[in-house]
């Protein structure tokens, strides 16, 4: 709960108690308390911003102020019938007030304006955002035969200083509406994301501690957004990586381009035939806007990775004095993705030779990767079949995940690591556990604590990239570690 939210709720509670308890019911005291609460409400709205979770608090404060005014201006005493009527409604009104106070406290706690943990690495974090157009490639999701593929790319990089925190998401209202539509929940459930900030600062200079930094590309899950794994991105950046997060239009919940055009994401049901064709090909290829996709949609999405690497290389070599010029180590490029992003990682690592290390998080593998494996260092972070069933996954999906990931692991020819975390649900691999302390109780995240799951994911992903991009020692990858007793590690070199 934010500072002025807490102060406002406390002041309203005090005003309520002063008016409720006979021994404390001093008109002047109630007036002073209500005045302070009003000032705090104004301050909270101006400094922190209004949000619907505080609506009961605002409403109760308004009711208390009206009651105080009526007592001050109205006649004292009254007939016996009027006095009896007041006593009759006093009890229910008090109970309603108590219930309202309980809701006022609960809502901001259940849906908080959360904060990301401070990363433990040595670097501060900077961020810049780009809009790139691939004029050589058609946008197959668009019915127009002339539309080109466009991407929104946000780059997070090591910095030496912190300034004003950057927002967690841009275009929060549009994203909130898209998430509500795609996940079947009220739009206002995500409205508070507009107030969440990161540990990053906008457009600060890149750290001078190293001449350049290894590059990691992150791919989002379906109906997600490019910032959906900030817990992981910030930790990696704080240890000396430049992380490039990509919004893939029609995969992401929403992408708003600089022109203001909003590209709404497709639902999982709409995308699933195209995805499944890449995992388990059918002789009857699915179509999209009249075009058949014999290999499914994954190869097309993997081309976004190649395009992004090309643009990053050009950005690194540009004659213009940009923040990132000559600061990206394009000889040390890795990639990681969650869910659909992980599927795309499996294909991108098979065809894009500039990728040196590949991390797949809880995703089935395309048929090509499952059959031939990956020919560069790879890691899979996932969970066991029992946990997937406990989460409610259908048996065919459980088997597809387990079989294709294991097959790709077995068929790979470079160093590879299979990390299973029993008790971790799919959402544990994203920022979702931070959205509410109730996610585990509601079955959204698993029995494992959300922050514990994040600690495991961060430790293993950092060790993996440290070893295979920075050439550092990574003992965590060589044996089961007592710090992470939940983890089942399978490795081959």
DSSP classification of residue 325 = T
Nearest to 379 by CA among 404, 359, 349: 359
For residues 287-297, one letter each, b for 16 or more C-beta atoms within 10 angstroms of the residue's C-beta and e for the rest, the string is ebeeeebebbb
DSSP classification of residue 210 = S
Residue 208 CB: number of other CB atoms within 10 A? Answer: 10
Quote the tokens at residue 358.
Answer: 């590949």
Question: Cα separation of 325 and 319, whole Å?
Answer: 8
Find the helix packing angle between 298-317 and 268-279, rounded to 10°.
90
pLDDT tens track for 174-189: 999 999 999 988 888 8
Give pLDDT, residue 84: 47
Residue 207 CB: number of other CB atoms within 10 A? Answer: 19
Question: Cα separation of 280 and 295, whole Å?
Answer: 9
Give pLDDT, residue 79: 54
Question: What sign does the dihedral 346-348-352-356 (CA atoms) show?
Answer: negative
Nearest to 304 by CA among 329, 262, 335, 282: 335
Nearest to 461 by CA among 154, 469, 209: 469
Residues forming beta bridges with residue 202, ordered by sequence position: 127
Question: What sign does the dihedral 139-142-145-150 (CA atoms) show?
Answer: negative
H or E element: which one contains 218? strand 213-219
DSSP E strands in 92-210: the ranges are 124-138, 148-159, 165-167, 197-202
Question: What sign does the dihedral 61-62-68-71 (CA atoms) show?
Answer: negative
Q: Tokens 């040196």 appear where?
A: 356
* Mean pLDDT of each 10-residue bin along the chain, 493 residues long: 89 80 56 85 91 88 78 57 46 71 84 94 97 96 94 98 95 93 87 94 96 98 98 98 98 95 96 97 94 97 98 88 92 98 98 97 97 96 97 97 97 96 97 92 90 97 98 93 94 90
Which residues have CB under 8 Å from 87's CB, separation 6+?
A: none
DSSP classification of residue 169 = -
CA–CA distance from 465 to each of 31, 42, 290, 436, 474 (Å)? 61, 48, 41, 30, 9
Question: Cα separation of 82 and 73, whole Å?
Answer: 17
């Amino acid at each position: 709960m934010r500072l002025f939210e807490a102060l406002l709720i406390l002041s309203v509670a005090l005003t309520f108690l002063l008016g409720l308890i006979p021994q404390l019911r001093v008109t002047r005291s109630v007036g002073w308390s209500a005045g302070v609460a009003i000032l705090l409400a104004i301050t909270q709205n101006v400094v922190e911003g209004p949000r619907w979770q505080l609506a009961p608090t605002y409403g109760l404060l308004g009711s208390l102020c009206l009651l105080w005014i009526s007592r001050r201006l109205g006649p004292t005493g009254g007939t016996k019938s009027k006095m009896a009527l007041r006593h009759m409604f006093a009890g229910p009104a008090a109970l309603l007030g108590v219930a309202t106070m309980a809701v006022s406290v609960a809502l901001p706690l259940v849906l908080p304006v959360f904060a990301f943990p401070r990363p433990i690495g040595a670097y501060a974090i900077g961020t810049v955002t780009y809009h790139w157009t691939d004029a050589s490639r058609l946008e197959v999701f668009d019915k127009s035969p002339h539309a080109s593929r466009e991407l929104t790319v946000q780059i997070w990089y090591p910095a030496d200083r912190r300034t004003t925190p950057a927002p967690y998401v841009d275009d929060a209202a549009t994203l909130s509406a898209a998430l509500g539509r795609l996940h079947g929940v009220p739009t206002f459930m995500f409205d508070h994301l507009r107030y969440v900030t990161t540990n990053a600062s906008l457009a600060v200079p890149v750290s001078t501690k190293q001449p350049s930094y290894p590059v990691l590309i992150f791919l989002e899950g379906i109906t997600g957004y490019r910032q959906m794994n900030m817990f992981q991105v910030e930790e990696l950046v704080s240890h000396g990586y430049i992380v490039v997060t990509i919004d893939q239009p029609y995969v992401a919940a929403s992408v708003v381009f600089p022109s203001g055009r909003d590209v709404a994401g497709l639902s999982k049901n709409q995308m699933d035939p195209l995805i499944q064709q890449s995992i388990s090909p059918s002789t009857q290829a699915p179509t999209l806007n009249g075009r058949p996709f014999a290999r499914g949609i994954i190869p097309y999405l993997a081309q976004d990775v190649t395009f992004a690497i090309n643009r990053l290389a050009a950005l690194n070599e540009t004659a213009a004095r940009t923040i990132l010029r000559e600061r990206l180590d394009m000889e040390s490029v890795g990639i990681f993705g969650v869910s659909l992003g992980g599927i795309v990682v499996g294909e991108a690592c098979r065809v894009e030779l500039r990728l040196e290390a590949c991390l797949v998080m809880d995703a089935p593998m395309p048929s090509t990767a499952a059959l031939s494996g990956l020919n560069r260092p790879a890691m899979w972070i996932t969970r066991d079949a029992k946990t997937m069933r406990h989460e409610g996954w259908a048996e065919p999906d459980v088997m597809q995940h387990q079989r294709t990931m294991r097959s790709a692991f077995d068929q790979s020819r470079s160093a590879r690591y299979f990390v299973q975390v029993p008790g971790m649900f799919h959402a544990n691999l994203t920022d979702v556990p931070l959205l509410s302390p109730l996610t585990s109780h509601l079955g959204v995240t698993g029995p494992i604590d959300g922050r514990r799951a994040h600690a495991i994911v961060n430790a293993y992903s950092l060790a993996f990239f440290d070893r295979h991009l920075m050439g550092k020692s990574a003992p965590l990858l060589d044996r089961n570690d007592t710090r992470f007793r939940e983890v089942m590690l399978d490795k081959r070199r």
